[in-house]
Every structure is written in C-alpha cells, then in structure tokens.
Amino acid sequence: MARVTANTIDIEKAAGVLRAGGLVALPTETVYGLGANAEDPAAVARIFQVKGRPPSHPLIVHIGGAEQLDGWVQDVPRAARLLAEHFWPGPLTLVLRRGPRVPLEATGGLETVAVRVPGHPVALALLAAFGGGVTAPSANRFGQVSPTTAEDVRAELGDAVDFVLDGGPCEVGVESTIVDVTGEVPSILRPGGVTREDLEAVLGAPLAVPATSPVRVPGQHPSHYAPRARVVLVEPDQVVAEAELARERGHHVGVFLPPAFPGATVEAHAVVRVPASMPAYARGLYGFLRRLDEQGCDLIVASLPVEEGLGLAIANRLRRAAGPRPTV
C-alpha cells in the first residue's frame, strides 16, 4: 500500500491549525513532534496538558532557518554560530539566552531557550507556511516512547491532537542532541542525532558532558522513553540466558538480540534482531519497543551498544527506558 504523506493542502491546513491556536503533530527527522505556535501561551499550555508533562519542563522552539534566530534568542555566541552553520537543518538543538518572542510558558520559566531548525522537508515546509516558531516536544504522553511514524502518533494521542501531518517514518529515530552554548564551554545536555565526535570535530575542542544538568531535562529523569514492558539491561553475552530464565519464570519476554550473535536462537515471546549499523538501530529503536509492547511483552531483555557515535544516544535512551519507574 502506498504511504500517504503530507502534500501542500495538508501543510496549509496544518499552518491554519497552528494560527488558530491548535495542536499539530508534525514529522521531523528525529521523532514526531506535538507542535503549537510558540508565541501563543494558551496553545503552548495545551501541549503540557495533552502530554501530561510538568509545566516546568522546557520545550524546543523550531524555526525555519538560522537567519530567523533574531527575536527568539538574545545573542548568538561564536560556537553556536559554527554549530548552526554545520548542522542546521538537522538533529541539533542549541540552548541560548531567551529572546522576546519566547513566552516563559515555553521555557518552563527559564531565561534560556532551546532552538532547532529541523531537517525534515515537511517540517520545513510547515514552518515556511506558518511563518513563526513552533514549540514541539515529542508527540507522546510524558515519560513514554517517542513516536517515529504518524500511525504511532495516532495510537498514542488520538483525538487529543487537532491534525496529524504524515511525513513517513523518521530517518534519525532518536531525539536531537542538545548543546548548551550559554556557558564558557559548550556542553552536551542530551546525546542525540548529531554525534559528540562530529560536534567536537567542528568545534575543534572537547565538549563537556555534565552527568546531571543544572536544568531539569525530561530526558534526564530516571525513567523516560519507557515502554509498558519492564526493560532489563544485561551484558550482550547474557541476553539469551537472561531472557530464557525470565520466560521460565512465566514472563512474556521480548528480546533485543545483539548483532554480535547473528545466528543465535532464543526461546522468547518476541525477538528483535538488533541491526549492526548504529543509524539503522537508532531509526528502529522506538518502533522495536512499541512493537514488543503491542505483542504483549511484559519484560524486555536488552544490552547496551558501544557508546560511540549514535551508540551514545541509543545507550542513553535504553538506560532511561530501564530506569526505575515512578510508583503510582
């Protein structure tokens, strides 16, 4: 079946929804976002309400190009300009000082703002048609797995979103890398689609990676990006044994079979053969977690990839998915 993706009529319609204060789910190259007019505090408030996200957690403002930064930020330090030139449009978010166009509702009350120019052609077309900035967190309920297809968005949010723009499956599959450029030395607040190695090559200097950010970042909660099933992380050579043990104990076990064991067989409810290529793994990651949930798994056994390149972002998401869940 041919995939239906956004056309000009859809984009105009989505821009109209944003102008009217509504919510649009939009494709980006990282994950699908839940977007609102960044300058409309009531629309921004609806994002928090729909996601169940605490209002103190800042959002990313998406704009159509680096030349539009004026008004959204106070000033653009040299490192920020360099990174923007190299990686925009793309999966890089820069934290800068907040400009007058950004309401405090979008920054969780902070005097800094996270800004990104997304690389997806449909997102760029929407930003051009709309003309303003769009605040958009991932289009999922707070703490859960980010959607990487329009179908995932509909399954997750249903009627809570006014319009879903379908741009096909996301190419990158994990969120943007967030770099704080407000301090003396740029630092990575969240690993993501642009690798640390590529950032450092452009800056010509190592990047600080603080263990915990002074700012509250949802991706830094112990549990985030989490499927319904509990996620257990073990060494790659323990995955099969751990999964089979859990199955014997009565679990519906899903397995992320590491690429180092291509021929391995495992007795489990559902098996994902993890791609050896990190871009392919990143692209598939959230879909794998969703599919194992849909297949009724209550436990997922996985291991961490080597934390280089995109492996850093994948390992970060898997650790959060395995993090202690809030008690309800």
Residues that bind ligand AMP (CB under 6 A): 57-60, 95, 107, 110, 112-114, 137-138, 175, 178, 189-190, 215, 217-219
Size of the site for Mg ion (CB under 5 A): 1
| Residue 176 touching Mg ion (CB under 5 A) | no
Longest dimension (CA), the chain: 60
Contact partner, 269, from Mg ion, ligand AMP, none, Cβ < 5-8 Å per class: none
Q: How many CB atoms lie within 10 A of CB 315?
A: 18
Per the DSSP assignment, residues forming a β-bridge with 94 are: 115, 179
Tell me the helices (H) and strands (E) count for the chain, helix number first: 10, 13
Site map 118..157 versus Mg ion, x via CB under 5 A: --------------------x-------------------
Q: Is 42 exposed, middle or buried (0-12, 13-18, 19+ CB in 10 A)?
A: exposed
Q: How many CB atoms lie within 10 A of CB 325?
A: 12
Whichever of 40 and 175 has its CB closer to Mg ion, that residue is 175
| Residue 316 touching Mg ion (CB under 5 A) | no
Whichever of 215 and 243 has its CB closer to ligand AMP, that residue is 215
Whichever of 138 and 148 has its CB closer to Mg ion, that residue is 138
Q: Which residue's CB atom is positioned nearest to Mg ion?
A: 138
The SS3 assignment for 48 reads: helix
Give the integer Cα–Cα distance in Å for 193 and 171.
Answer: 10
Residue 5 · residue 167 · CB < 8 Å: yes
Whichever of 270 and 318 has its CB closer to ligand AMP, that residue is 318
Q: Least CB distance from residue 59 to ligand AMP, whole Å?
A: 6
Give the integer Cα–Cα distance in Å for 145 and 240.
Answer: 24
Q: Least CB distance from residue 252 to ligand AMP, whole Å?
A: 28
